[in-house]
Amino acid sequence: MHHLRRAAVNRFLQLLGFVVVSAALAAPGAHAQERKKASVKKQQTSASSASAKRAVAPRKAATATKPVRVSAKTSKAATRVAFIPAKPSFGQIAGLHEVNDPLDLKSSVALVIDQDTHEVLLSKNDHAVLPIASLTKLMTGMIISQAKLPMEEPITITQDDVDTEKGSRSRLVVGATLTRGEMLHLALMSSENRAAHALGRTYPGGLEVFVTQMNAKAKLLGMTDTRYVEPTGLSSRNQSSARDLATLVNVAHGDPLLRELSTSPGYEVAVGQRTLQYNNTNGLVKNPTWDIGLQKTGYISEAGRCLVMQTQISGRKLIMVFLDSAGKFSRLGDAERVRHWVETLPSSLAAPLQARAAIPAV
Protein backbone atom coordinates (compact mmCIF):
# COMPACT_ATOMS: atom_id res chain seq x y z
CA MET A 1 0.00 0.00 0.00
CA HIS A 2 2.75 2.29 0.92
CA HIS A 3 4.46 1.27 -2.27
CA LEU A 4 1.43 2.28 -4.35
CA ARG A 5 1.23 5.78 -2.80
CA ARG A 6 4.90 6.39 -3.53
CA ALA A 7 4.42 5.36 -7.16
CA ALA A 8 1.46 7.73 -7.51
CA VAL A 9 3.47 10.60 -6.06
CA ASN A 10 6.32 9.90 -8.48
CA ARG A 11 3.95 9.96 -11.49
CA PHE A 12 2.45 13.24 -10.26
CA LEU A 13 5.90 14.79 -9.92
CA GLN A 14 6.87 13.56 -13.40
CA LEU A 15 3.67 15.03 -14.84
CA LEU A 16 4.28 18.33 -13.05
CA GLY A 17 7.84 18.47 -14.35
CA PHE A 18 6.64 17.82 -17.88
CA VAL A 19 4.16 20.67 -17.61
CA VAL A 20 6.83 23.05 -16.26
CA VAL A 21 9.30 22.13 -19.00
CA SER A 22 6.64 22.51 -21.70
CA ALA A 23 5.70 25.91 -20.38
CA ALA A 24 9.34 26.98 -20.33
CA LEU A 25 9.86 25.84 -23.89
CA ALA A 26 6.70 27.59 -25.11
CA ALA A 27 7.47 30.96 -23.43
CA PRO A 28 10.26 32.18 -25.84
CA GLY A 29 8.07 31.52 -28.85
CA ALA A 30 5.20 33.37 -27.28
CA HIS A 31 7.44 36.32 -26.45
CA ALA A 32 8.83 36.34 -29.99
CA GLN A 33 5.33 36.27 -31.40
CA GLU A 34 4.35 39.15 -29.13
CA ARG A 35 7.43 41.14 -30.23
CA LYS A 36 6.60 40.41 -33.87
CA LYS A 37 3.03 41.55 -33.38
CA ALA A 38 4.24 44.63 -31.55
CA SER A 39 6.70 45.43 -34.38
CA VAL A 40 4.03 44.99 -37.03
CA LYS A 41 1.68 47.16 -35.04
CA LYS A 42 4.39 49.83 -34.66
CA GLN A 43 5.10 49.77 -38.41
CA GLN A 44 1.40 50.03 -39.14
CA THR A 45 1.15 52.92 -36.70
CA SER A 46 4.15 54.67 -38.33
CA ALA A 47 2.75 54.11 -41.79
CA SER A 48 -0.61 55.41 -40.70
CA SER A 49 1.06 58.45 -39.14
CA ALA A 50 3.10 59.14 -42.29
CA SER A 51 0.04 58.67 -44.42
CA ALA A 52 -1.84 61.03 -42.20
CA LYS A 53 0.96 63.59 -42.50
CA ARG A 54 0.95 63.26 -46.27
CA ALA A 55 -2.76 63.66 -46.28
CA VAL A 56 -2.66 66.93 -44.36
CA ALA A 57 0.53 68.26 -45.99
CA PRO A 58 -1.27 70.10 -48.79
CA ARG A 59 -3.49 71.85 -46.29
CA LYS A 60 -0.45 72.80 -44.23
CA ALA A 61 1.37 74.16 -47.32
CA ALA A 62 -1.67 76.11 -48.34
CA THR A 63 -2.12 77.66 -44.95
CA ALA A 64 1.60 78.42 -44.66
CA THR A 65 1.60 80.63 -47.78
CA LYS A 66 2.02 84.28 -46.78
CA PRO A 67 0.57 87.16 -48.77
CA VAL A 68 3.13 88.88 -51.04
CA ARG A 69 3.80 92.46 -50.09
CA VAL A 70 5.11 94.89 -52.72
CA SER A 71 7.76 97.03 -51.11
CA ALA A 72 8.63 100.55 -52.15
CA LYS A 73 11.87 99.22 -53.62
CA THR A 74 10.02 96.69 -55.76
CA SER A 75 7.64 99.35 -56.98
CA LYS A 76 10.55 101.63 -57.86
CA ALA A 77 12.28 98.89 -59.84
CA ALA A 78 9.11 98.18 -61.76
CA THR A 79 8.50 101.85 -62.59
CA ARG A 80 9.23 102.75 -66.20
CA VAL A 81 10.87 106.09 -66.89
CA ALA A 82 9.09 107.99 -69.61
CA PHE A 83 11.24 108.62 -72.70
CA ILE A 84 11.69 112.31 -73.39
CA PRO A 85 12.77 112.92 -76.99
CA ALA A 86 15.57 115.37 -77.65
CA LYS A 87 14.61 118.87 -78.68
CA PRO A 88 14.58 119.00 -82.50
CA SER A 89 17.10 121.19 -84.26
CA PHE A 90 16.14 124.00 -86.58
CA GLY A 91 17.31 121.85 -89.48
CA GLN A 92 15.06 118.98 -88.45
CA ILE A 93 12.09 121.31 -88.14
CA ALA A 94 12.81 122.68 -91.62
CA GLY A 95 13.02 119.16 -93.08
CA LEU A 96 16.65 119.50 -94.16
CA HIS A 97 17.45 115.93 -93.09
CA GLU A 98 15.01 114.64 -95.70
CA VAL A 99 17.39 115.75 -98.44
CA ASN A 100 19.50 112.82 -99.70
CA ASP A 101 23.10 113.01 -100.83
CA PRO A 102 25.37 110.46 -102.57
CA LEU A 103 27.61 110.04 -99.51
CA ASP A 104 24.71 109.48 -97.10
CA LEU A 105 25.96 112.21 -94.77
CA LYS A 106 24.33 112.56 -91.35
CA SER A 107 24.68 116.34 -91.43
CA SER A 108 21.74 118.16 -92.99
CA VAL A 109 24.10 120.85 -94.28
CA ALA A 110 27.50 120.20 -95.85
CA LEU A 111 29.97 122.07 -98.01
CA VAL A 112 33.44 121.06 -99.22
CA ILE A 113 35.52 123.59 -101.15
CA ASP A 114 38.98 123.48 -102.66
CA GLN A 115 40.73 126.29 -100.78
CA ASP A 116 43.07 127.18 -103.63
CA THR A 117 40.70 127.05 -106.61
CA HIS A 118 37.44 127.75 -104.70
CA GLU A 119 35.97 124.79 -106.56
CA VAL A 120 32.92 123.35 -104.83
CA LEU A 121 33.42 119.60 -104.45
CA LEU A 122 30.30 118.88 -102.43
CA SER A 123 27.27 120.90 -101.44
CA LYS A 124 24.14 120.08 -99.48
CA ASN A 125 21.73 122.76 -98.31
CA ASP A 126 24.71 125.12 -98.25
CA HIS A 127 22.53 128.26 -98.34
CA ALA A 128 20.38 127.27 -95.35
CA VAL A 129 20.77 129.69 -92.44
CA LEU A 130 20.91 127.85 -89.11
CA PRO A 131 22.17 128.31 -85.54
CA ILE A 132 25.93 127.67 -85.44
CA ALA A 133 26.53 127.08 -81.72
CA SER A 134 30.22 127.28 -80.73
CA LEU A 135 31.41 127.82 -84.29
CA THR A 136 30.76 131.38 -83.08
CA LYS A 137 34.01 131.22 -81.11
CA LEU A 138 36.01 131.25 -84.33
CA MET A 139 34.85 134.82 -84.93
CA THR A 140 35.38 135.60 -81.23
CA GLY A 141 38.97 134.44 -81.56
CA MET A 142 39.51 136.42 -84.74
CA ILE A 143 38.34 139.68 -83.12
CA ILE A 144 40.60 139.13 -80.08
CA SER A 145 43.61 138.16 -82.19
CA GLN A 146 43.29 141.09 -84.60
CA ALA A 147 42.77 143.58 -81.74
CA LYS A 148 46.38 142.96 -80.66
CA LEU A 149 45.42 143.07 -76.99
CA PRO A 150 48.07 141.98 -74.44
CA MET A 151 47.81 138.18 -74.16
CA GLU A 152 49.47 138.13 -70.73
CA GLU A 153 46.86 140.40 -69.17
CA PRO A 154 44.96 138.54 -66.40
CA ILE A 155 41.20 138.09 -66.75
CA THR A 156 39.00 136.95 -63.87
CA ILE A 157 35.79 134.97 -64.34
CA THR A 158 32.78 136.78 -62.85
CA GLN A 159 29.14 135.92 -62.32
CA ASP A 160 28.39 137.69 -65.60
CA ASP A 161 30.25 134.90 -67.43
CA VAL A 162 28.04 132.13 -66.00
CA ASP A 163 25.66 130.65 -68.57
CA THR A 164 22.07 131.43 -67.60
CA GLU A 165 20.59 130.53 -71.00
CA LYS A 166 21.49 126.85 -71.34
CA GLY A 167 22.83 126.16 -67.85
CA SER A 168 26.06 124.71 -69.24
CA ARG A 169 28.78 123.75 -66.78
CA SER A 170 32.33 125.02 -66.56
CA ARG A 171 35.40 124.17 -64.51
CA LEU A 172 36.35 127.84 -64.51
CA VAL A 173 34.65 128.87 -61.30
CA VAL A 174 33.75 132.43 -60.50
CA GLY A 175 36.93 134.08 -59.25
CA ALA A 176 39.27 131.96 -61.41
CA THR A 177 41.94 134.05 -63.10
CA LEU A 178 43.79 133.22 -66.31
CA THR A 179 45.63 135.28 -68.88
CA ARG A 180 43.85 136.47 -72.01
CA GLY A 181 45.97 134.06 -74.03
CA GLU A 182 44.90 131.13 -71.85
CA MET A 183 41.26 132.15 -72.12
CA LEU A 184 41.56 132.29 -75.90
CA HIS A 185 43.27 128.90 -75.96
CA LEU A 186 40.48 127.23 -73.97
CA ALA A 187 37.75 128.95 -76.00
CA LEU A 188 39.11 127.75 -79.35
CA MET A 189 40.39 124.31 -78.33
CA SER A 190 37.90 123.16 -75.67
CA SER A 191 35.01 125.49 -76.51
CA GLU A 192 35.08 126.93 -72.97
CA ASN A 193 32.00 129.15 -72.75
CA ARG A 194 32.98 131.22 -69.72
CA ALA A 195 36.39 131.88 -71.25
CA ALA A 196 34.80 133.09 -74.49
CA HIS A 197 32.32 135.29 -72.65
CA ALA A 198 35.07 136.78 -70.49
CA LEU A 199 37.04 137.65 -73.63
CA GLY A 200 34.08 139.61 -74.97
CA ARG A 201 33.23 141.19 -71.63
CA THR A 202 36.77 142.51 -71.10
CA TYR A 203 37.13 143.83 -74.65
CA PRO A 204 37.67 147.61 -74.75
CA GLY A 205 34.18 149.14 -74.58
CA GLY A 206 32.60 145.99 -73.15
CA LEU A 207 30.48 143.13 -74.46
CA GLU A 208 28.15 145.22 -76.58
CA VAL A 209 31.04 146.77 -78.48
CA PHE A 210 32.60 143.35 -78.93
CA VAL A 211 29.45 141.87 -80.50
CA THR A 212 29.22 144.91 -82.77
CA GLN A 213 32.77 144.21 -83.91
CA MET A 214 31.84 140.58 -84.63
CA ASN A 215 28.98 141.61 -86.90
CA ALA A 216 31.06 144.33 -88.55
CA LYS A 217 33.76 141.79 -89.40
CA ALA A 218 31.17 139.40 -90.83
CA LYS A 219 29.81 142.16 -93.04
CA LEU A 220 33.31 143.14 -94.14
CA LEU A 221 33.99 139.54 -95.20
CA GLY A 222 30.77 139.38 -97.20
CA MET A 223 29.06 137.00 -94.77
CA THR A 224 25.58 138.26 -95.55
CA ASP A 225 23.77 135.31 -93.93
CA THR A 226 25.53 135.75 -90.58
CA ARG A 227 24.41 137.40 -87.36
CA TYR A 228 25.91 137.33 -83.86
CA VAL A 229 24.27 138.34 -80.58
CA GLU A 230 26.92 137.06 -78.12
CA PRO A 231 30.45 135.57 -78.21
CA THR A 232 29.89 131.95 -77.05
CA GLY A 233 27.32 130.42 -79.39
CA LEU A 234 24.97 129.40 -76.59
CA SER A 235 22.26 131.54 -78.16
CA SER A 236 20.38 130.04 -81.10
CA ARG A 237 20.19 133.56 -82.54
CA ASN A 238 23.83 133.27 -83.58
CA GLN A 239 23.22 132.06 -87.12
CA SER A 240 25.02 131.58 -90.41
CA SER A 241 25.16 129.49 -93.59
CA ALA A 242 27.71 126.96 -94.79
CA ARG A 243 28.81 129.40 -97.50
CA ASP A 244 29.52 132.14 -94.96
CA LEU A 245 31.30 129.76 -92.59
CA ALA A 246 33.57 128.55 -95.39
CA THR A 247 34.56 132.18 -95.90
CA LEU A 248 35.26 132.58 -92.17
CA VAL A 249 37.41 129.42 -92.08
CA ASN A 250 39.40 130.57 -95.08
CA VAL A 251 40.21 133.93 -93.46
CA ALA A 252 40.82 132.49 -89.97
CA HIS A 253 43.24 129.95 -91.42
CA GLY A 254 45.47 132.87 -92.38
CA ASP A 255 45.99 133.72 -88.68
CA PRO A 256 48.85 131.66 -87.18
CA LEU A 257 47.55 132.10 -83.62
CA LEU A 258 44.09 130.78 -84.50
CA ARG A 259 45.63 127.83 -86.35
CA GLU A 260 47.83 126.94 -83.40
CA LEU A 261 45.26 127.25 -80.64
CA SER A 262 42.34 125.61 -82.44
CA THR A 263 44.35 122.50 -83.35
CA SER A 264 46.10 122.09 -80.00
CA PRO A 265 45.41 118.52 -78.74
CA GLY A 266 45.44 119.47 -75.06
CA TYR A 267 46.38 122.19 -72.61
CA GLU A 268 46.91 122.58 -68.85
CA VAL A 269 46.08 125.68 -66.85
CA ALA A 270 46.70 126.50 -63.20
CA VAL A 271 43.60 127.72 -61.41
CA GLY A 272 44.43 128.60 -57.82
CA GLN A 273 46.12 125.54 -56.34
CA ARG A 274 44.68 123.19 -58.97
CA THR A 275 45.95 122.23 -62.41
CA LEU A 276 43.18 121.62 -64.93
CA GLN A 277 43.68 119.49 -68.04
CA TYR A 278 41.67 120.48 -71.11
CA ASN A 279 41.41 118.54 -74.37
CA ASN A 280 40.38 119.38 -77.90
CA THR A 281 36.70 118.83 -78.65
CA ASN A 282 37.63 117.51 -82.11
CA GLY A 283 39.10 114.03 -81.79
CA LEU A 284 40.46 114.15 -85.35
CA VAL A 285 43.28 116.50 -84.32
CA LYS A 286 44.89 113.57 -82.49
CA ASN A 287 44.49 111.27 -85.48
CA PRO A 288 47.85 111.06 -87.31
CA THR A 289 46.10 110.29 -90.60
CA TRP A 290 44.55 113.76 -90.62
CA ASP A 291 46.37 116.99 -91.52
CA ILE A 292 44.19 119.70 -89.96
CA GLY A 293 45.22 123.34 -90.19
CA LEU A 294 42.27 124.89 -88.34
CA GLN A 295 39.07 123.58 -86.80
CA LYS A 296 36.12 124.35 -84.54
CA THR A 297 33.25 122.28 -83.22
CA GLY A 298 29.88 123.34 -81.88
CA TYR A 299 26.71 122.03 -80.33
CA ILE A 300 23.43 123.22 -78.91
CA SER A 301 20.17 121.36 -79.44
CA GLU A 302 18.88 123.98 -81.88
CA ALA A 303 22.01 123.66 -84.03
CA GLY A 304 22.78 119.96 -83.82
CA ARG A 305 26.42 118.84 -84.02
CA CYS A 306 28.57 121.20 -86.09
CA LEU A 307 32.13 121.13 -87.42
CA VAL A 308 34.30 123.34 -89.62
CA MET A 309 37.84 122.46 -90.70
CA GLN A 310 40.68 123.37 -92.97
CA THR A 311 42.50 120.20 -93.93
CA GLN A 312 44.71 118.72 -96.61
CA ILE A 313 43.70 115.50 -98.38
CA SER A 314 45.59 113.92 -101.27
CA GLY A 315 47.58 117.10 -101.74
CA ARG A 316 44.47 119.30 -101.90
CA LYS A 317 43.72 122.01 -99.35
CA LEU A 318 40.07 121.74 -98.46
CA ILE A 319 37.56 123.62 -96.35
CA MET A 320 34.83 121.44 -94.82
CA VAL A 321 31.62 122.63 -93.20
CA PHE A 322 29.13 120.29 -91.53
CA LEU A 323 26.04 121.65 -89.77
CA ASP A 324 23.16 120.03 -87.92
CA SER A 325 24.61 116.54 -87.70
CA ALA A 326 22.21 114.10 -86.06
CA GLY A 327 24.52 112.00 -83.85
CA LYS A 328 27.22 112.68 -81.29
CA PHE A 329 30.05 111.37 -83.49
CA SER A 330 28.35 111.64 -86.87
CA ARG A 331 30.01 114.95 -87.80
CA LEU A 332 33.39 113.22 -87.50
CA GLY A 333 32.00 110.29 -89.45
CA ASP A 334 30.88 112.68 -92.18
CA ALA A 335 34.38 114.13 -92.34
CA GLU A 336 35.78 110.61 -92.74
CA ARG A 337 33.26 109.80 -95.48
CA VAL A 338 34.21 112.95 -97.38
CA ARG A 339 37.91 112.21 -96.99
CA HIS A 340 37.58 108.68 -98.37
CA TRP A 341 35.54 110.05 -101.27
CA VAL A 342 38.03 112.84 -102.04
CA GLU A 343 40.90 110.34 -102.03
CA THR A 344 39.25 108.59 -104.98
CA LEU A 345 38.86 111.79 -107.02
CA PRO A 346 41.16 113.03 -109.78
CA SER A 347 43.07 116.24 -109.13
CA SER A 348 40.32 118.25 -110.83
CA LEU A 349 36.63 117.46 -110.53
CA ALA A 350 34.43 118.07 -113.56
CA ALA A 351 31.21 118.64 -111.62
CA PRO A 352 30.48 119.16 -107.93
CA LEU A 353 28.71 116.49 -105.90
CA GLN A 354 25.33 117.84 -104.90
CA ALA A 355 22.35 116.68 -102.92
CA ARG A 356 19.44 115.36 -104.96
CA ALA A 357 16.99 118.00 -103.77
CA ALA A 358 17.40 121.73 -103.33
CA ILE A 359 16.22 123.31 -100.08
CA PRO A 360 15.88 127.09 -99.80
CA ALA A 361 17.42 129.03 -96.94
CA VAL A 362 15.39 128.99 -93.73
pLDDT in tens, 42-94: 444 444 444 433 333 333 333 333 433 333 333 344 445 444 456 899 999 99
**Is 123 noted as a catalytic residue in this protein?**
no
Our count of domains for the chain comes to 1
Q: Is residue 63 part of a domain?
A: no
What is d(CA 31, CA 251) in angstroms, rounded to the nearest whole number? 123
Q: What is the pTM (predicted TM-score) of this model?
A: 0.75
Q: Is residue 84 part of a domain?
A: no
**Is 168 noted as a catalytic residue in this protein?**
no
Q: Are 352 and 328 in contact (CB under 8 A)?
A: no
Q: List Cα–Cα distances, 123 to 126, 240, 321, 338, in angstroms.
A: 6, 16, 9, 11
> Tell me, what CATH number does 272's domain have?
3.40.710.10
Q: Is residue 57 part of a domain?
A: no
Question: Of these residues, 108, 123, 134, 190, which one is catalytic?
Answer: 134
Question: Of these residues, 89, 106, 124, 137, which one is catalytic?
Answer: 137
**Is 191 noted as a catalytic residue in this protein?**
yes
Question: Of these residues, 123, 190, 191, 262, which one is catalytic?
Answer: 191
Q: Is residue 249 part of a domain?
A: yes
Could you list the residue range(s) of the whole structural domain that residue 219 is in?
90-354
pLDDT in tens, 101-153: 999 999 999 999 999 999 999 999 999 999 999 999 999 999 999 999 999 99
